[in-house]
Amino acid sequence: MRIAFLTAPKGVEQVELTEPWQAALEAGHEPVLVSTEPGEVQAFHHLDKADRFTVDEVVGEVSADSFGGLVLPGGVANPDFLRMNGKAVAFVKEFFELGRPVAAICHAPWTLVEADVVRGRELTSWPSLRTDIRNAGGTWVDEQVKICDHGPNKLVTSRKPGDLKAFCAAFLDVFAEEMTAR
């Protein structure tokens, strides 16, 4: 399955990109780095610059229909930038409209809030997003990983880098179910 990993040009938390990416590769999936601009993505270790990664596809030039699922890594700046980009928000919303599974960790649900896809769903995130999620009609829970199947697709969310092992296992299971269902 082709899995889109959507990031902004800078601000993605490196471990929240690389660990799910590696887990997807090891499970036999094809991870694809999608960004709002061509070139490279600058990752961070919290507030310090980390590695750079080459962008494979650009939002607005690719459709959600060409992917089986979407992973949204966190970092504070990454989802804040994405939610201010109309093409990125539309790309995320398209996964929900198509009924494709989506996984988001840490601050990444900010982009989901902007896409107006959390209403009626239970999800988790970095604790500072709790009020934003509630205001957008979602139910915030403090759990290591939350799988919500409200609506036409499943949403997998986690709180922080410390939850990555559980997050990767959960989204890989959900994405495998999607592959079997197709």
Q: Per-residue pLDDT averaged across 140-153, rounded?
A: 93
Instruction: Look up 107 and say whether it is catalytic.
Output: yes
The pLDDT score that the predictor gives to residue 180 is 81
Please check the confidence at residue 181 and state whether its pLDDT lies above 80: no
Q: Are 2 and 67 spatial neighbours (Cβ–Cβ below 8 Å)? A: yes
Of the listed 29, 45, 46, 107, which one is catalytic?
107
Rounded to the nearest integer, the mean pLDDT of the chain is 96
User: In order of start, what are the domains of the chain with their CATH numbers?
Assistant: 2-181 (3.40.50.880)
pTM of the model: 0.97
Alpha-helical segments (H) within 48-126? 77-82, 86-98, 109-114
Spatial CB neighbours of 168, under 8 Å, sequence gap ≥ 6: 19, 20, 23
